[in-house]
Amino acid sequence: MFDELVGQGGADPTLTADIRVSEGQAIEFQVVKNRDWNKRIFPTPEGNAILGPSAGGHACNWKLQVPPDHVSLHVRFDPTGQRSLMWWLGQSRHAALEGNYALIGSWSDWQTLYSFHRSDEYRDMFVADVEVPAARDIAFQIVCNTDLRQRIFPTPFGDIISGIAETSHGLNWQMQVPPNKALLRLYFDPVGRRSLAYEFCEREGVALSRTYALIGSWDRWTSLHEFVLDETHGKVFVAELEVSGNDPIEFQIVCNGDWNRRMYPS
């Protein structure tokens, strides 16, 4: 039975496959071109080159042992140029969500761990908030189970894989911190192929120190309606006003009473 390698579209020449496997299973595989068994693509015995397509290559396979709690094999194959093949294993959902994850990055000279916590809002998501230096280039990886040798990191193709620290050297998430926002918020989903999203926010003290007011179409954008800090939640501002029940409305948020400092949706 064949498991198809699927193209990514656009300018990306690589092909990928996601395959269910059994934990503890010993696996060997090759790549077959056009479903023709006489056109096999396989590694050299040393694993430092890719040969084929040909009818040869008997027993010249990519080989791996599936560890406990891993249930998926992910393969990315680049058939162009010298060709390359990467593979990595995915944990079961239960094992991935039972893991402990922390951020490590360049802003602390790769010395300090910043813990993720399970999100109350997003299913299967872990969240971390870290203060980073503004207007600087930063790089980071994820550490598993407080073991500095167990890393999660991106590949040049954007896949997120796990491995030991020696193999992950230089494979970092990299970005530039905006000049006016120095709180990095990360959303990490460890299940399946994994995903990581991020945003830059203001520090909490800065955000809570200013005033906020609504301005809107209900009075032709002429007056401000102040938000009040909701002491029940401590970090939430609330504004209430009466508007017509028949007309559509539009509004923005004004900061510190300055009409030139507005918040609005993208």
Tell whether 1 is covered by a domain: no
User: In the β-sheet with 225-226, what is the strand arrangement from edge to edge?
Assistant: 225-226, 212-216, 251-255, 258-263
> Mind listing the pLDDT tens digit for each residue in 65-79?
999 889 999 999 999
pLDDT in tens, 92-130: 999 999 999 999 999 999 999 999 999 988 888 999 999
pLDDT confidence band for 245 (50 / 70 / 90): confident
User: To the nearest whole percent, how much of the chain has pLDDT over 70?
Assistant: 99
CB atoms within 10 A of CB 41: 18
Q: Are 181 and 99 found together in one domain?
A: yes
Domain membership of residue 152 as a residue range = 94-204
Both 174 and 252 in one domain: the answer is no
Q: What 8-state DSSP symbol labels residue 183? A: E
Domain boundary among 90, 119, 135: 90
Element holding 229 (H helix, E strand): strand 228-230
Within a domain: 136: yes
The yes-or-no verdict on residue 166 having pLDDT over 90 is: no
Summarize the chain as % helix, strand, coil (round to 5): 10, 45, 45
